[in-house]
Structure 1
Amino acid sequence: MRKFQPRALALAIAVASVGTVSTPSFAQQEGAIEEIVTIGTRGKPRSATDSVAAVDVISGSDFTSQGGVDTANLLRNVVPSFNVNDQPISDAATLVRPANLRGLAPDHTLVLVNGQRRHRAAVISWLGNGLSDGSQGPDIAAIPALALQSVEVLRDGAAAQYGSDAIAGVINFNLKNSDSEGSLEVRYGQYTEGENSYSVAVNQGFAIGDGFLNLTAEFAEAEATDRSVQRSDAQDLINAGYQGVNDPAQVWGSPEVDGDIKLWANFGTQVTESIEFFGNANYNTKEVTGGFYYRNPTNRGGVYGDGAELLIGDLTPNDGVGCPTVTLNGVTPDPVAYAQVQADPNCFSFQETIPGGFTPNFGGEVTDTSLLLGLRGETDGGMFWSVSGYYGKNEADFFINNTVNASLGPNSPRDFNPGAYEQADLNLNVDFSMPLSDNVSLAFGAEYRNEEFSIIAGQEESYIDGGLGTQGFSTSSNGFPGFSPSIAGAFDRANTSIYTDLEWQATDSLLVAAAVRYEDFDDFGSTTNYKLGANYTITDNFGMRATVSTGFKAPTPGQSNASNISTQIIQGVLTNQGVIPPNSPAAQLRGGGALDPEDSTNLTLGAYMSAGPVDITVDYFDIDVENRLSLSNDFALTAEDLATLAGQGIDASDISQFRFFTNQFDTNTSGYDIVATWNTDWLNGSTTWNLAFNYTDTEVTRRNPTLLNDNRVNLIENGVPDTRWNFTANHQMEKVRLLARFSYYGEFYDNEAGGEFDDNILLDLEAGYNFSDALTFTIGARNVTDEQGCSTNVCGGTPANALGLPYSQFSPFGFNGTFLYGRATYNF
């Protein structure tokens, strides 16, 4: 059984010293202290098994005892109900990857830091393999692992306690609060294909008067990976004598990450004997560069031609002299007509300047900042109070290089700044809690929030018609059109809320909890939500818990107002796809309109028990979401639609299809989690064994088929594996630590590859040696058996050489293969 030491803070959180997802022992040995959790309760901190809902507690060491630095990936490795994957060609989702808890959208999970709501990212995931399409969640990767004392994952709806977004659950990141301890960590890793990454991180606590200042700094960089094969159309061009065709023409892999800097501070001090000043802050920045689809120089519409004829621009259209028609014989232009184009300075083809085609590079610089300041204390009457203010901002400043604005012809730049998205959140909170008796505690409070989403216009060349638009050349930067001043702007929403939370220890064995929250939004009205829960300890070795609650998620200002153009494969064709505001007349003609909040009903039923040395929890959950928010089907644009959108300042001349946000469907998500933990003393040490199992099934229970077709239903129901489990053995000897982790990922559906992909089991190994009490060196390997998933030739409907992609780009564990790493840690 694990032992934990208490921390002397107002809300103490004890942290597991080894292992992965933690389940405390229920029959406690003398002197042992269970894990203490603060999430899901506003009364006194409780042990994980005393809570009315399931809470996973992951120690900071569980994160640092892995080979990576991305907190989202590290969380996936230890919490089976949490899914995140690489986004190799997914527009802005490549910058801030969408993550899913319990098979729901990323913005159905509320993220807290030290118990306070964290701001969401500026990125809207326009391309998210269905399940995450249109979501706008927080950037979990912004939090460095070395700054973490522990992470609590509440696997239950908690909107009545914390407000909007807490439908799938709540993740609370607790920052380190030591006033003297510190550590330095250096990590280097490399895939067996050769791409490397490294990070340097330092954490140090300082005593400041009667308080502490705990600082963390991390710097990391990662090379882009490439697992593509040559596209067959690109190889045909090379065989035909085309120059400048890259091999491979299109890259599939993880993006390049440069200058990933994370600076975090956690602080607190006593102002008086009864008042404490507290807060935390961060400043992060990184540059992420990914790839896009290859633009074939014979058939990329709007740039080169349609595959039958080259697109020829007449640079002097009013001189009465036209340009010749150039037909294609396979991939070869008619030599006589093409020679005439080359000889005439008033005629132009992009085959003259970019003969081998091009593959845009898309990315952005992501900047993330936040500041929380507050006071808390206790009155003479025993009432605890807290007043805090929080401001958080996330900005994604995009760039797209190696592309063109085709309507500018030979004068087109190759690199563009298409603009930026910004998200800013302001939260003001006042909270109170007090014991009404020895057995009853009451909490209540109020919150004011303001969210603002801004679209920043890009450089002029990224959105204008340079003159050749009327001749069939595409306007704007190809691949990711820039934001014009007409669609730029700031969109905000404010809401206020009040809540009350009651806990009653009815007997030594029975805890009853209830919460009610009222929120009023200035754009769509108000909502009231409740939560009821109970925990009943039947024997020293067995107990049960259950909750029922309602919840909601308000559509973000970005989802209600943003426009976007993305390029993706639709039925095997590279297609410009637009997202227009849902209240646009063009959207309203297809069933669009003002967005409503998503409403949920959550039910959980669980049991915890000790079977000899094994501690087990089993929790069932059922989540109904009504008026669920996502992007609609694709609709073809008519001439009337183009005119309507132009009147709104949206140039849709490059869009062949469009979609919009809609609330026109309901889902039911149900499943269960099983966690088992035990210890074995053997091999000159002690092994902590941990099994964590999750099964999640999502079903679309109501829909408008016009807005949500069968393919979209398949994506929502099967886009992530329904079954995940981890089995971990962590063996600790005097100077040596050995870890082995098996991770299972069930089958999943990939829309773009067009198929159901097989399940996989991954093996991670790690060995650490303590040279002294301060210095530890660790080596390890992720995915030892080099699993990359089922080939698209076998499981997909699209051959690998069609797009150059041999594996599913939405693989839940990635497709980069084995990763070897070394890590040195010095504690001081």
Structure 2
Amino acid sequence: MTQGRIITLIGASVLALVANDVAAQTVARDAGEPSHRSASGAATTGKDGGADGNDIIVTGTRAEGRTRLDSVSPVDVLSGASLQRQGTTELAAALATVAPSIDFPRPSANDATDAIRPATLRGLSPDQTLVLINGIRGHTSANLNTNGTVGRGSAAVDLNTVPTVALDRIEVLRDGASAQYGSDAIAGVVNLRLREARSGGGASVTYGFYDTQVDTANNHRTVRGEPVVTASLWQGIGFGHDGFITLSGEYTKRQPTNRADIDRRVTPNRVTARYGDPEVEQFTGFVNAGTSLTDNLSLYAFGGYQDRDTRGAAFPRNANALTVTAGYPDGFLPIINTKTKDINSAVGLRGDFGGYNVDLSLSYGRNTVDFRTLNSANYAYGAATPKNFYDGQVAYDQYVAGLDVTRKFDVFQSLNVAFGIEGRREGYKIVAGELASYGVPANGGVPGASRGAQGFGGFRPENAIKRGRRSGSIYLDVEAQVTDKLLLGLAGRGEDYSDFGTTATGKVSARYDVTDWFALRGTASTGFRAPSLQQQYFTQTASVVTNGIPVQTGTFPSTDPVGVALGGLALRPEKSTNLSVGTVIRVGGFDLTVDAYRIHIRDQIGLSENIQAANNPQVTALLAPYGVSAARFFINGLASTAKGIDAVAHYRARTERAGTFDFTLAGNVNTIAVTRVPTSTATLNPAPTLFARNRILTLEQGTPGEKVTGTIDWSLDRLGALARVTYYGNVNQPGTVARADVLTGNRAITDLELRYTASKGAQIGLGVSNLFDVYPRATASANNSTGVLGFPYFSPFGFNGRYLYARAGVNW
């Protein structure tokens, strides 16, 4: 651990001890009041958005009545109010602001990854975090991240398909939990808990814009505008004795941002690119419902639908003979248009049968992404080129059926036994685009000209696939309160997949309450992540004319004849070993949790570099029969180890005249080391470089090694204010060589908000995100020859600058 990280940790500990001393002095005054958690930190919520340390959690435990501070694993409980008291209305961005262990970079000029941006937990891959909705497994996006961004090679759940207005709270389990929940829970679990209301409602409109000074390496300019408008509505409807239907809806319209540098290739020098957040228009609706059918049986259901239209920019095509022929005498800027449709749904029955709590559920999720390239050209068509292209579609769907049974026994002080089964069917499909998006006209087109839409070429007919798989699992999860002080847990799970076979995982956990105010806890577990269908079957190729002969290059499945020729094998699941140890301290209105962890992942899956026929004669001979000049595919064999510490300290001070003050200090210190890199395949030993320097460093240094958030949230009757400072450690957006690395630098971002909130009536908020207009380091000219990449898109806080916003609404 570096000296800087040690200082950060010591600083957090000192502040926590100071707060502890203050808390000790106020125990008598606060006696009889429940302990609370900050609305802006790791917290659950009361009506005012503050947090209650006695709130019940349902993630990480199947025992009833367990609170966050009583849990055996670290769980953050984040209120819906804390997510909404921000300038952003994106769930993933809001979650990253209040949870130090979560990172949400904003890639740009990276195809569909600009539109479907993944979040990470503890610096691991986005697909190594399991996302639940009301405790039921969510589905991943159909989009596979194949570009050079954080999370390259992953297909993760798109958190932004669930609007914050639909949420009551989010529970984040920061611990390996594959034995409890199945595949993907290597880094942890994010459980989105939907709002449940029989009455009441609210509507709000948030309007924001940027007021920023953009200082790239070669340009200084002022930007005011690029507005974002979000309108949201929710309504609770009661029926029967306890039935409820909660409806939520949200509409967002976001103008694109642009932080590109000037292009020195054109005269006069000017900005020719669009680099920043894409243009977005989206509609989202959710319904959450439940009712008792009998005294012992209840019915529940939820459903959500989102339609998102996103337009991001590719690299500009400056004027040349080809652009002139295509009808663009001044060049053109291709726009990559993704139209995403997303469905989340579930229905279930739960009841008490002879002392057994039984929960039977069926869920269905589907995500489709249609690709279009606008304002572009296919040079092979010459002057007859279309300007807009349909590039095809990727689609993913998932059915999950589960039966969960729990029962409490009078053994020891208490014994909670849970067991269940789960069946899952997944499907993945690629649909080809129109001919002009990838090929040439019937007459053969312009000889030697590149084929396909500039910016994003379409899927070819030979790329089209339709695949599926089935899996089944069984688990046992036991928690025993052995004595007043000792809690023990044991979980085991077996899974069988139709494509790669069986796997088993286990977890042991323990907690010992040394005193009423101090406890020790720890876990040890094994985990796994099944290779996704997207990783197994994604195919995208382009035809390149070489010496008058069209040859293919692109991404192939590892089991495709091209992949097999280069030594590709059927993908195996990633495996992990997780260790965690921590403490819980609580005195009066103060609490502190500190948890250290070690996560070792083996057989990790990565997307290889392009293996080119020109590399050596052996590769040339292997690829020649398939007319392929270069190919890449997914490979098992990477290994990495993540080590770190999470700490969350909170103190709530109540005064009669000055109101209530919530102080939260939360931080994550994290290091990742790649310990094994494959250098050969089944047919190539040694192979050309399979994973370049920049791929390895992205895993190790692509997320901040330190992130600390300090928050003060004040409320007095209907008035309130929030001040937050978030410190981000340096992030490296690595190049193929060291001189091409782009560093963000250490940065602190300050957010402020003032609010007026009535339980019924007007709701007003005024705020500023990034008050001091902080940017990551500008990309140096040497690493930005086109002028597009004004700032590193690995930046964990984005690169848009100061943002002003106003929120107005009404509750009823």
Q: Which has the larger radius of gyration?
A: 1
Residues 1:495 and 1:469: Cα distance change in structure 2 (over 3 Å): farther
Residues 1:204 and 1:19: Cα distance change in structure 2 (over 3 Å): same
In the other structure, the counterpart of 2:466 is 490
Deviation for aligned residue 1:704: 1.8
User: Are 2:499 and 1:523 equivalent residues in the alignment?
Assistant: yes
Listed as ranges, the matches of 1:12-27 within 5 Å are 19-22=39-42
Please say if residues 36 and 589 of structure 2, whose CA atoms lie closer than 8 Å, have aligned partners that are also in contact: no
In the other structure, the counterpart of 1:667 is 640
Kindly provide the CA deviation profile for residues 23-63 of structure 1, in whole angstroms up to 9, marking residues without a partner as x: 689xxxxxx87021100112224011221110000011001
Deviation for aligned residue 1:17: 8.0
Please say if residues 18 and 59 of structure 1, whose CA atoms lie closer than 8 Å, have aligned partners that are also in contact: no
Runs of 5+ unmatched residues, structure 2? 1-18, 20-33, 46-51, 212-222, 544-551, 680-688
Deviation for aligned residue 1:470: 8.1
User: Are 2:748 and 1:761 equivalent residues in the alignment?
Assistant: yes
Moved more, 224-233 or 153-162: 224-233
Instruction: Return the match for 2:723 from 740, 758, 782.
Output: 740
Instruction: Return the match for 2:277 from 248, 254, 269.
Output: 254
In the other structure, the counterpart of 2:180 is 161
In the other structure, the counterpart of 1:230 is 262
Other structure's SS at 1:63 match: helix
Give the Cα–Cα distance (whole angstroms) in 2 for the partners of residues 352 and 177 of structure 1.
56
Whichever residue aligns with residue 62 of structure 2, its letter is R
Whichever residue aligns with residue 285 of structure 1, its letter is D
Kindly provide the CA deviation profile for residues 521-570 of structure 1, in whole angstroms up to 9, marking residues without a partner as x: 01111001001101111101100110000010001111101112599xxx
Moved more, 675-684 or 394-403: 675-684
Deviation for aligned residue 1:447: 0.5
In the other structure, the counterpart of 1:456 is 431
In the other structure, the counterpart of 2:769 is 782
Whichever residue aligns with residue 429 of structure 1, its letter is G
Give the Cα–Cα distance (whole angstroms) in 2 for the partners of residues 460 and 625 of structure 1.
42
Identity over aligned pairs, percent: 35
User: Are 2:329 and 1:355 equivalent residues in the alignment?
Assistant: yes
Instruction: Return the match for 2:291 from 262, 269, 272.
Output: 269
Listed as ranges, the matches of 1:291-330 within 5 Å are 291-298=313-320, 304=322
Whichever residue aligns with residue 730 of structure 2, its letter is E
Please say if residues 489 and 510 of structure 2, whose CA atoms lie closer than 8 Å, have aligned partners that are also in contact: yes
Other structure's SS at 2:266 match: helix
User: Are 2:170 and 1:197 equivalent residues in the alignment?
Assistant: no
Give the Cα–Cα distance (whole angstroms) in 2 for the partners of residues 21 and 658 of structure 1.
46
Give the Cα–Cα distance (whole angstroms) in 2 for the partners of residues 444 and 770 of structure 1.
44
Please say if residues 325 and 382 of structure 2, whose CA atoms lie closer than 8 Å, have aligned partners that are also in contact: no
User: Are 2:593 and 1:617 equivalent residues in the alignment?
Assistant: yes
Listed as ranges, the matches of 1:613-692 within 5 Å are 613-638=589-614, 657-681=630-654, 684-692=658-666
User: Are 2:446 and 1:446 equivalent residues in the alignment?
Assistant: no
In the other structure, the counterpart of 1:341 is none
Give the Cα–Cα distance (whole angstroms) in 1 for the partners of residues 522 and 708 of structure 2.
23
Listed as ranges, the matches of 1:402-417 within 5 Å are 402-417=375-390
Give the Cα–Cα distance (whole angstroms) in 1 for the partners of residues 44 and 718 of structure 2.
25
Other structure's SS at 1:39 match: coil
Deviation for aligned residue 1:404: 1.7
User: Are 2:112 and 1:92 equivalent residues in the alignment?
Assistant: yes
Other structure's SS at 2:491 match: strand
In the other structure, the counterpart of 2:555 is 579
In the other structure, the counterpart of 1:179 is 198
Please say if residues 771 and 777 of structure 1, whose CA atoms lie closer than 8 Å, have aligned partners that are also in contact: no
Indicate the RMSD between aligned Cα atoms, in angstroms. 2.5
Deviation for aligned residue 1:441: 1.4
Whichever residue aligns with residue 608 of structure 1, its letter is V
In the other structure, the counterpart of 1:149 is 168
Listed as ranges, the matches of 1:411-430 within 5 Å are 411-430=384-403
Please say if residues 554 and 596 of structure 1, whose CA atoms lie closer than 8 Å, have aligned partners that are also in contact: yes
Instruction: Return the match for 2:796 from 806, 809, 812.
Output: 812
Please say if residues 213 and 266 of structure 1, whose CA atoms lie closer than 8 Å, have aligned partners that are also in contact: yes
Residues 1:596 and 1:378: Cα distance change in structure 2 (over 3 Å): same
Runs of 5+ unmatched residues, structure 1? 2-13, 26-31, 240-246, 305-348, 568-575
Instruction: Return the match for 2:244 from 204, 212, 237.
Output: 212
Please say if residues 15 and 149 of structure 1, whose CA atoms lie closer than 8 Å, have aligned partners that are also in contact: no
User: Are 2:79 and 1:59 equivalent residues in the alignment?
Assistant: yes
Please say if residues 166 and 553 of structure 1, whose CA atoms lie closer than 8 Å, have aligned partners that are also in contact: yes
Deviation for aligned residue 1:90: 1.1
Instruction: Return the match for 2:783 from 798, 803, 811.
Output: 798
In the other structure, the counterpart of 2:683 is none
Moved more, 197-206 or 680-689: 680-689
Kindly provide the CA deviation profile for residues 216-246 of structure 1, in whole angstroms up to 9, marking residues without a partner as x: 01111100011123211123xx58xxxxxxx
Please say if residues 19 and 689 of structure 1, whose CA atoms lie closer than 8 Å, have aligned partners that are also in contact: no
Give the Cα–Cα distance (whole angstroms) in 1 for the partners of residues 618 and 445 of structure 2.
18
Give the Cα–Cα distance (whole angstroms) in 1 for the partners of residues 301 and 121 of structure 2.
28
In the other structure, the counterpart of 1:42 is 62
Residues 1:618 and 1:699: Cα distance change in structure 2 (over 3 Å): same
Residues 1:18 and 1:720: Cα distance change in structure 2 (over 3 Å): closer
Instruction: Return the match for 2:125 from 105, 111, 116.
Output: 105
Deviation for aligned residue 1:685: 1.1
Moved more, 465-474 or 270-279: 465-474
Give the Cα–Cα distance (whole angstroms) in 2 for the partners of residues 66 and 468 of structure 1.
55
Residues 1:584 and 1:777: Cα distance change in structure 2 (over 3 Å): same
Give the Cα–Cα distance (whole angstroms) in 2 for the partners of residues 288 and 406 of structure 1.
25
Give the Cα–Cα distance (whole angstroms) in 1 for the partners of residues 664 and 608 of structure 2.
41
User: Are 2:533 and 1:514 equivalent residues in the alignment?
Assistant: no
Whichever residue aligns with residue 765 of structure 1, its letter is L
Residues 1:69 and 1:704: Cα distance change in structure 2 (over 3 Å): same
Give the Cα–Cα distance (whole angstroms) in 1 for the partners of residues 467 and 65 of structure 2.
38
Other structure's SS at 1:20 match: coil
Please say if residues 668 and 699 of structure 1, whose CA atoms lie closer than 8 Å, have aligned partners that are also in contact: yes
Instruction: Return the match for 1:694 from 668, 685, 692.
Output: 668
In the other structure, the counterpart of 2:690 is 707
Deviation for aligned residue 1:636: 2.0
Give the TM-score normalised by the residue count of structure 1.
0.85
Q: How many residues align?
A: 734
Residues 1:583 and 1:15: Cα distance change in structure 2 (over 3 Å): farther
Deviation for aligned residue 1:710: 2.6
Please say if residues 743 and 777 of structure 2, whose CA atoms lie closer than 8 Å, have aligned partners that are also in contact: no
Residues 1:738 and 1:714: Cα distance change in structure 2 (over 3 Å): same
Please say if residues 406 and 468 of structure 1, whose CA atoms lie closer than 8 Å, have aligned partners that are also in contact: no
Other structure's SS at 1:502 match: strand
Deviation for aligned residue 1:371: 1.7
Deviation for aligned residue 1:146: 1.0
In the other structure, the counterpart of 2:253 is 221
Give the Cα–Cα distance (whole angstroms) in 1 for the partners of residues 360 and 653 of structure 2.
46
Residues 1:33 and 1:159: Cα distance change in structure 2 (over 3 Å): closer
Deviation for aligned residue 1:128: 4.5
In the other structure, the counterpart of 1:114 is 134
User: Are 2:797 and 1:822 equivalent residues in the alignment?
Assistant: no
Other structure's SS at 1:218 match: strand
Whichever residue aligns with residue 371 of structure 2, its letter is F
In the other structure, the counterpart of 2:88 is 68
Please say if residues 387 and 430 of structure 1, whose CA atoms lie closer than 8 Å, have aligned partners that are also in contact: yes
Kindly provide the CA deviation profile for residues 228-271 of structure 1, in whole angstroms up to 9, marking residues without a partner as x: 23211123xx58xxxxxxx421111110002x111001001111
Give the Cα–Cα distance (whole angstroms) in 2 for the partners of residues 770 and 760 of structure 1.
32
In the other structure, the counterpart of 2:406 is 433
